[in-house]
Amino acid sequence: MIGSLDSRLPAGSADNIQDAWTNHKFSMKLVNPANKRKFEVIVVGSGLAGASAAATMGELGYKVKLFTFHDSPRRAHSIAAQGGINAAKNYQNDGDSVHRLFYDTVKGGDFRSREANVHRLAEVSVNIIDQATAQGVPFARDYGGLLDNRSFGGAQVSRTFYARGQTGQQLLLGAYSALMRQVGEGTVEMHTRTEMLDLVVHDGAARGIVVRDLITGDVTSHSGHAVVLATGGYGNVYYLSTNAMMSNVTAAWRAHRRGAMFANPCYTQIHPTCIPSSDEFQSKLTLMSESLRNDGRIWVPEGMDDSRAAADIPEGERDYYLERKYPAFGNLVPRDVASRNAKTVVDQGRGVGTLKNGVFLDFADAIARDGKDLVASKYGNLFDMYERITGEDPYSQPMRIYPAIHYTMGGLWVDYELQSNVPGLFVLGEANFSDHGANRLGASALMQGLADGYFVLPYTIGNYLADQLGDRPMDAGDAAFRQVEAEVNEQTNKWLSTNGTKSVDYYHRELGKIMWDYIGMERSENGLEKAISEIPALKAEFHKNVRILGTGDGLNQSLEKANRVADFFELGELMARDALAREESCGGHFRAEHQDAEGEADRDDENFQHVAAWEWTGTDSVQNRHTEDLEFNYVIPSKRSYK
Amino acid sequence: MSEETLNITLKVWRQDGPEDRGRFETYQAENISTHASFLEMLDVVNENLNEDGKEPIAFESDCREGICGTCNLMIDGKAHGPEKGTATCQLHMRKYSDGDTIVIEPFRAASFPIIKDLAVNRAALDAIVMSGGFISVNTGAAPDANLTPVPKEAADQAFDAAACIGCGACVAACPNSAAQLFTSAKVQHMNLLPQGQAERWQRTEAMIETMEMFFGSCTNHGECHDACPKEIPLDLIAWTNRDYIKSKNKNRKLAGQRG
């Protein structure tokens, strides 16, 4: 094992969490401005975390190289986030504070995150809003010209800032504009359409990466003093998810194979409000912002197999099951609770739509109360999107929604400074595991991505780099790099010469079915055992029988997908093992064997109040499970109740 | 939600690389669900091509929610196809009838060189943003977000401009291959906000002139707005032209060359 699982929490954070980050910042080493230009930093990924980190490090004077497989940094999947971003500004005077955001996030994560990390996240949340506003991000405003807020799944205060239903787009365009300014100033060198295919670890530290130019097929090496991965989550392991088509785990997984620990892979989030799938050719699922739950009421018919149109079902024969079971939070219960309840009613045979695979999200009351115009002003673009996809008009009939894989809380293990166990390898945003525990609250992904990129990494990376003053980065022509390049080229040739019969997509779809059935919303020992035996069998067939046409020296989208799907197979198996080892239900991880009499999650703090971090031990051997214990001094673990 | 299927004839532009001359090839898309999206229809065609030992059609897409701007097809001569205000990925097959023939080409413009088949290089759009599409505020230097009230009207109009997804449909639709709508959207997003005033005139001059380096000039056809999947308002071009003329004067004054 490289390095250790020492979280390196600031000294004294158990007694004084309020000042832990401030004190830690003071204790870290600095790199003086004239020396910063001597350090070269590689950033992979151009979403909120990657773009904000690259721009900020560029502003500070570091020499940054940014890599993205997109044609432009602006395409990264952060762009699709709809609902908003949390910040403890308390502009609404409704009792919010840094401590409350911290408290809600730890509780929302079902007590499986580090308190000190989460507190820091809540602290810097306010700076993000200031930064984005100054960049020109057009957040929603009230008539006095000040910023507007709304409340968002799982919160009883209005702390979510938003830009219509396109908050992720506007925040990413803000980070992208800051990034492009640095590209123009020459501090950031941008490599688009360039995919990271391996990490080079030498003498116990990350030294650089090996990439493939997606247009020419050239495989080249790039070295630096540090490597920063901001490469997003792995939801596409399920094939159908709300992730973009190209979102993948490859950069993180290749780093894992080189020694970086992968933490809590079984923590996945199912988003409750997505459009149900309509046929087998469906390529992805579309999310409808959770903000819809502020005004929409969720219900299903009381009886089984009710095929009447929504309008024909009288009020008395409707079951508003969230309002019934959770009177305090009602339709605004956290995502995991809302999702599991939707699954329960659909499994009971009370689903709606032709395929009986959804529940209603009804705006009739909101339209009657506020008028169609006000509803349209809040959700117009979402309603339009729904109608384009389904051909149904949500103003006149309820939407049909169903949960879908949306976000992954697990990821590469990092310490308090966002450094993995491999020295010099830092991991930001959704790609790391750090802040959301077993469940992420709505509007907290954007917050974490930008917190990591703007306000955490730019400080903590200096603490690592300061010790390397005077050292040149390794030569990218060194034998260590040549060796990895050769391995990448060999893999490419293998794909192109396999000459089987089925497409990459076919195998990806089949893997997705196993994942959804056995490692989806509900997991059982039996199902997980099945997944652990079926995934390797399918993987073997994939490697033997996949057909990838064309060549490696130009644009070849099947070849790109093959690499990504190969990694999903390995990850999928690890997810099953992680889910099997975690004999409890917490957050997004629900084990059928561990529920109380009412079907609510049964957490086991005595045995599982820890992070599980997996160590790669070779392609054909089972990975080692290590643990990092979690301590709670401020938010005392209790059963999450939203009743 | 009735389930129907369609049989469609496709004429698809195939081009092996930037130097290849390219040609149309005809494919049959059979038993396509009316619920399928246009790109899912192409996924099915590609799966069949792969099965037949023919290389799949290269086309680009990512979010498939109409927000990332990656997808870019010319469908029957229209950028993003027949449905107004809709990106290619949000176009659904229920808009077509059984037996239809659909012609699919890449976005065509000298500044968007073809990479392969339907994939083009739109990096010139990034160059425009790099020349001034930002507000220069280093991380950490921002004042409290509520220090400067922004009239709701201005914030809303800035948002309307900022909604551009950078897909390049405006360029593909323009007879001059100008990127005036793209550029104006970014210019006005920032020029409308108080935070964007300090660099307003430099931004406008730099971005318009960078646009002209890569793309054709705008002669007010308005085709861009018709093709735009986000229906970016056409008057942003007029406002930007006004700002551009002013900028020529203002920037000289700023540089101290009065008179």
Q: For residue A479, which phi and psi values (nearest 5 degrees)?
A: -60, -35
User: How far away is chain A from the Cα of B35, in angstroms, using its nearest Cα?
Assistant: 7
Q: How many structural domains does chain A have? A: 2
Give the pLDDT score at A598.
80
Average pLDDT over residues A90-104: 97
Residues B77 and B126 in one domain: no
Instruction: Please report, rounded to a whole number, the percentage of residues in chain B having pLDDT higher than 70.
Output: 98
Residue A26 inside a domain? The answer is: no
- Same domain assignment for residues B126 and B112: no
Any residues with CB less than 8 A from the CB of A99 and at least 6 apart, and which? Answer: A18, A122
Q: Is B65 on the interface with A (CB under 8 A)?
A: yes
DSSP alpha helix (H) spans, chain B: 38-51, 123-130, 152-162, 169-173, 180-191, 200-214, 223-227, 235-254
Active site residues of A: 335
Residues A297, A386 within the same domain: yes
Q: Best-predicted range by mean pLDDT among A271-280, A632-641, B216-225?
A: B216-225
- Chain A contact present for B31, CB below 8 A: no
Residues B156, B222 share a domain: yes
Is A410 within a domain?
no
pLDDT over 60 (residue A120): yes
B73-75 and A40-44 as β-strands: parallel, antiparallel, unpaired? unpaired
Whether residue A89 lies inside any domain: the answer is no
| Shortest CA distance from B160: residue in chain A | A138
CB B51: neighbour CB atoms within 10 A?
A: 13
Q: For residues A290-301, b (16+ Cβ closer than 10 Å) or e, as one string?
A: bbbbbbbbbbbb
CA of A104 vs chain B CAs: smallest distance (Å):
23
What is the 3-state composition of chain A as percent helix, strand, coil, each rounded to the nearest 5?
A: 40, 15, 40
On whether the CB atoms of residues B117 and B84 are closer than 8 A, the answer is: no
pLDDT digits (tens, 9 = 90+) for A23-43: 999 999 999 999 999 999 999
CATH of the domain at B218: 1.10.1060.10
Residues A439 and A334: beta-carbon distance below 8 Å: yes
Pairing type for strands A624-629 and A610-615 reads antiparallel
In a shared domain, residues B134 and B92: no
DSSP label at A42? E
Using H for helix, E for strand and C for coil, what is the string for A359-421?
EEEECHHHHHHHCHHHHHHHHHHHHHHHHHHHCCCCCCCCEEEEEEEEEECCEECCCCCCECC
Enumerate long-range contacts of A592-597, CB under 8 Å, 24 or more apart: A592/A522, A592/A523, A592/A524, A593/A524, A593/A525
Give contacts of B 220-259 with A, CB under 8 A. none
**Among A47, A26, A40, residue whose Cα is nearest residue A446:** A47
Together in a domain, A379 and A290: yes
Instruction: Name the residue type at position A245.
Output: M
In a domain, A275, yes or no: yes
Write out the residue range of the structural domain in which residue B178 sits.
122-254
A396 lies in the same domain as A523: no
pLDDT tens digit sequence for A543-575: 999 999 999 999 999 999 999 999 999 999 999
User: Mean pLDDT for chain B?
Assistant: 96
The CA-atom distances, in angstroms, between B5 and each of A406, B21, B36 are: 30, 35, 9
Q: How far apart are CA A80 and CA A77, in angstroms?
A: 6
Residue A513 sits in the same domain as residue A396: no
- 3-state secondary structure (DSSP) of residue A464: helix
> Å from B125 to nearest chain A CA?
9
Termini Cα distance of chain A: 44
Question: Is position A358 within any domain?
Answer: yes
Q: What is the pLDDT of residues B212-244, one digit of tens each?
A: 999 999 999 999 999 999 999 999 999 999 999
What is the chain A residue with the closest CA to B187? A136
Both B108 and B160 in one domain: the answer is: no
Nearest to A80 among B43, B65, B115 (CB): B65
The nearest alpha carbon in chain A to B61 belongs to: A245
Q: Does B131 touch chain A (CB under 8 A)?
A: yes
Number of structural domains found in chain B: 2
**Same domain assignment for residues B140 and B231:** yes
CA B212 to chain centroid: 17
CA A126 to chain centre: 21
Question: What CATH code is carried by the domain that includes residue A491?
Answer: 1.20.58.100
Residues 187-226 of B with CB under 8 A from A: 189-190, 193, 195-196
What digits encode the pLDDT tens for the residues A473-502? 999 999 999 999 999 999 999 999 999 999
Residue B16, strand partner residues: none
What torsion do the CA atoms of A566, A567, A570, A572 make, to the nearest 10 degrees? -100
In chain A, what percentage of residues exceed pLDDT 70?
100
Give helix A115-135 / helix A20-27 axis angle, nearest 10°: 80
Report the chain A residue with the minimal C-alpha distance to residue B92.
A389
Q: What pLDDT does B4 receive?
A: 86
Interacting residues of A27 by C-beta distance below 8 A, sequence separation 6+: A10, A11
B103 and B62: one domain? yes
State yes or no: pLDDT of A465 exceeds 50.
yes
In whole angstroms, give the CA distance from residue A12 to residue A14. 5
A113, A437 Cβ separation under 8 angstroms: yes
Beta strands in A179-260 (DSSP E): 188-191, 194-202, 205-213, 219-223, 226-229
Name the strand (E) or helix (H) holding A578.
helix A557-581
- For position B255, what pLDDT does the model report? 77
Q: Which of A70, A391, A549 has its CB closest to that of B94?
A: A391
Pair (B21, B129) in one structural domain: no
Q: Which of A356, A389, A405 is the last residue of a domain?
A: A405
Q: Which of A362, A386, A405 is the last residue of a domain?
A: A405
> In this prediction, does ipTM exceed 0.90?
yes
B25 with B105, same domain: the answer is yes
Task: Give the confidence band of A352 by pLDDT, cuts at 50, 70, 90.
Answer: very high
Q: What is the CATH number of the domain that holds A388?
A: 3.90.700.10
CB contact under 8 A, B135 and A134: yes
pTM: 0.96
Domain co-membership, A384 together with A511: no
**Is pLDDT of B14 > 60?**
yes
**pLDDT tops 50 at residue A277:** yes
Say if B259 falls within a structural domain: no
Structural domain range at position A519? 479-616
pLDDT at A22 over 90: yes
Q: What is the mean pLDDT of residues A623-630?
A: 98
Distance from CA of A445 to the nearest CA of B (A): 17
- The crossing angle, in degrees rounded to 10, of helices A504-519 and B38-51 is 120
Q: In this structure, is residue B39 part of a structural domain?
A: yes
Q: Under DSSP, is residue A56 helix (H, G, I), strand (E, B) or coil? A: helix
User: In chain A, whose CA is at the least distance from the CA of B54?
Assistant: A549
Flag if A130 and B144 touch (Cβ within 8 Å): yes
* Contacts of the segment B83-87: beta carbons below 8 A, 24+ positions apart: B83/A388, B84/B226, B84/B231, B85/B228, B85/B229, B85/B230, B85/B231, B86/A388, B86/B229, B87/B165, B87/B167, B87/B229
pLDDT grade, residue B1 (50/70/90)?
A: very low
- pLDDT band for position A164 (50/70/90)? confident
Q: Is residue A77 included in any domain, yes or no?
A: no
What would the pLDDT profile of B113-144 be if each residue is shown by its tens digit?
999 999 999 999 999 999 999 999 999 999 99
Is the confidence at residue B258, as pLDDT, over 80?
no
Partner residue facing B47 (CB), from A73, A388, A503: A503
Q: Characterize the bridge pairing of strands B101-106 and A188-191.
A: unpaired
- Nearest CB to B65: which of A178, A286, A550? A286
Could you tell me if A293 and A389 lie in one domain?
A: yes
One domain, residues B88 and B51 = yes
Nearest to B112 by CA among B22, B14, B218, B18: B18
Q: Which helix (H) or strand (E) holds A561?
A: helix A557-581
pLDDT at B3: 59
Q: Are A245 and B61 spatial neighbours (Cβ–Cβ below 8 Å)?
A: yes
Q: Which of A134, A141, A278 sits opposite B35 (nearest CB)?
A: A278
* Residues A304, A310, A315: CA angle, nearest 5 degrees: 80
Q: CB-CB: which of B140, B146, B152 is closest to A143?
A: B152
Last residue of a domain, one of A354, A386, A405: A405
φ and ψ of B138, to 5 deg: -70, 150
- Interface probe, candidates A214, A247, A557, chain B, greatest B C-beta count within 10 A: A557
- Among A104, A112, A147, A51, residue whose Cα is nearest residue A443: A104
pLDDT at A174 over 70: yes
A483 and A611 belong to one structural domain? yes
d(CA A122, CA A372): 36
Span A505-510, mean pLDDT? 97
**Tokens matching residue A456:** 């955490």
Instruction: Give me the percent of chain A exceeding a pLDDT of 90.
Output: 90
Same-domain status, B234 and B200: yes
Chain A residues inside the 8 Å CB shell of B89: none
Q: Which of B49, B81, B116 is the last residue of a domain?
A: B116
Span of A179-193, A331-345, A531-545 with lowest mean pLDDT: A331-345
Of all helices (H) and strands (E), which one includes residue B11?
strand B5-14
- Give per-residue pLDDT as tens, A391-437: 999 999 999 999 999 999 999 999 999 999 999 999 999 999 989 99
Identify whether A309 is part of a domain: yes
Judgement on whether residues B126 and B245 belong to the same structural domain of the protein:
yes
B158: chain A residues, CB-CB within 8 Å: 136, 138
Total length of chain A: 643
Inter-chain CB pairs, A–B, below 8 Å: 220
pLDDT of residue A154: 63
How far apart CA A504 and CA A491 sit, in angstroms, is 15
Instruction: Tell me which of B116, B151, B172 is where a domain ends.
Output: B116
Residues of chain B neighbouring A141 (CB-CB closer than 8 A)? 149-152, 155
Which tokens in the block code for residue A47?
């979403």
* Residue contact B64–A283, C-beta within 8 A: yes
Per the domain annotation, does A232 fall within a domain?
no
Residues A241, A236: Cα–Cα separation, whole Å:
6
A41-84: per-residue pLDDT in tens?
A: 999 999 999 999 999 999 999 999 999 999 999 999 999 998 89
Q: Mean pLDDT for chain A?
A: 95
